[in-house]
Amino acid sequence: MKKIIAYNRVEAPVLKELQKKYDVHFFKNIDTGSDPEFLKQLHETEGIIGLELPVDQELLDRAPNLKIVSNVSVGHNNLDIRELSKRGIMATNTPDVLTDTVADTVFGLLISTARRIPELDQFVKNGEWITEAVEPEHFGTDVHHKTLGIIGMGRIGKAIAKRAHFGFDMNILYHSRSRKPDAEEEFSAVYCKLDELLKQSDFVCLITPLTPETEGLIGKQEFQLMKKSAIFINGSRGKTIIEQDLINALQRGEIAAAGLDVFENEPVEPDNPLLKMKNVVTTPHIGSSTHETELKMSQLAARNLDAGLSGEKPPNLIDESVWE
């Protein structure tokens, strides 16, 4: 039986299927640089399936038999793709199956932040709703008919645009490395340079991958370009923004509010100033985490792993050149 490592999150029914075919070793909450059992299994493993395992040169040096790393996520900033390809090791991810779920999360954060739903939930539950008509200090801001700027008009960006255009009559601006004629036609989305998008948007939504180019893409200058009334939503990765600059922008009133699914450090530190701000709505990196979608992601990751280990081309190879 081929040996594989399952890491952090593989849904139970999928793990059970994998156990019928492979000698599976499951690890969670360990130090992958020093855990002796993990390092022992890593030396013999042919495949890795899981969430957010940092795969770098050092780990690869300790995995001489590795043939494939199958991420249970679409983002793959945890993988050193260049190093994997150099060694002829396949890497795969799980696009498409999570697109609508992540778009729902991002839109949920957007509405929650604009209409202050978590804050007002606490207001009601704390027994503070004592006059029939709540005071204007508790009012929110409209979402419908406003301008939404989407940075990263890929699969998820387009699913967000679809919701905004058809559901909320929003005007859509977008910025990507390349123009997206399909989004321009279907959602009347208008391509913008980043600065222009930041200046004109009521809501700025960041949904690019984390890459060397997007690391720290939104910082002090970018927050200063946004409207004072702007609401910033990050559904990408924590490090695509400079988090301290977001804290400063919120403290100085340079933007109005933020909705965040991702943080520079995860889990976020309990003393992070963002957690004390009423105008910040947070979720714990659960963009794709519904029961249905997590199962689909695990199933797709298992298909990728099976293909790679049986000599077939995995459906979601990140760098196709390893196959050529």
Tell me which residue of 8, 22, 74 sits closest to 310, measured CA to CA. 22
Contact code string over 63-102 relative to ligand NAP, x by CB under 6 A? -----------xx-------------------x--x---x
* Of positions 70, 236, 304, 316, contacts ligand NAP by CB under 6 A: 236
The site string for ligand NAP over 156-175 (x = CB under 6 A, - otherwise) reads: xx-----------------x
If you search the block for the tokens 């492979």, which residue do you land on? 22
Question: Out of 128, 266, 269, 320, which one is annotated catalytic?
Answer: 266
5 lies in the site for ligand NAP, by CB under 6 A: no
Is the previous residue joined to 136 through a cis bond, with omega within 30 degrees of 0?
no
Q: Residues of 92-116 as b/e, b for ≥16 C-beta within 10 angstroms?
A: bbbbebbbbbbbbbbbbbbebbbeb
What are the residues whose beta carbons fall under 8 Å from the beta carbon of 220, sequence distance 6 or more?
A: 242, 245, 248, 249
Residues in a beta bridge with 79: 55
Closest CA to 285 of 57, 75, 43: 75
According to DSSP, residue 314 is labeled P
Q: For ligand NAP, what does the binding mask look like between residues 188 and 227, x meaning CB under 6 A?
A: -------------------xxxxx-xx-------------
| Residue placing its CB nearer to ligand NAP in the complex, 171 or 208 | 208
Tell whether residue 47 is a contact of ligand NAP (CB under 6 A).
no
- Look up residue 231 and give its two tokens: 């609401």
Inter-helix orientation angle 99-114/117-125, to 10°: 60
Shortest distance, position 126 Cβ to ligand NAP, whole Å:
29
Closest CA to 180 of 202, 206, 159, 195: 159
- Per the annotation, the verdict on 243 as an active-site residue is no
**Among residue numbers 270 through 309, which ones bind ligand NAP (CB under 6 A)?**
285, 287-288
Residue 166 gets which letter from DSSP?
I
CB of 262 to ligand NAP, least distance (A): 5
The one catalytic residue among 9, 163, 175, 237: 237
Active site residue 237: yes
Name the minimum Å distance from CB 241 to ligand NAP.
12
Residue list 243-262, contact with ligand NAP (CB under 6 A): 261-262
For the CB of residue 133, give the shortest distance to ligand NAP in the complex, in Å. Answer: 37
Q: Rounded to whole angstroms, how far apart are CA atoms 94 and 36?
A: 30
Write out the two tokens for 140.
Answer: 């929110």
Nearer to ligand NAP, 149 or 235 (CB): 235
Nearer to ligand NAP, 4 or 110 (CB): 110
Give residue 141's Cα distance to chain centre. 25
Shortest Å distance, C-beta 174 to ligand NAP: 8
The residue among 156 and 246 lying less far from ligand NAP, judged by its C-beta, is 156
Task: Name the nearest CA neighbour of 274 among 289, 283, 287.
Answer: 283
* 266 is an active site residue: yes
Q: Interface with ligand NAP includes 269 (CB under 6 A)? A: no
Strand partners, 231: 203, 257
Contact stretch for ligand NAP (CB under 6 A) within 155-163, 197-205, 222-230, 306-314? 155-163
Say if residues 32 and 48 touch (Cβ distance below 8 Å): no
- Residues of the shown chain interacting with ligand NAP in the complex, contacts defined by CB under 6 A: 74-75, 95, 98, 102, 152-157, 175-178, 207-211, 213-214, 235-237, 261-262, 285, 287-288
Which residues are known catalytic residues? 237, 266, 285
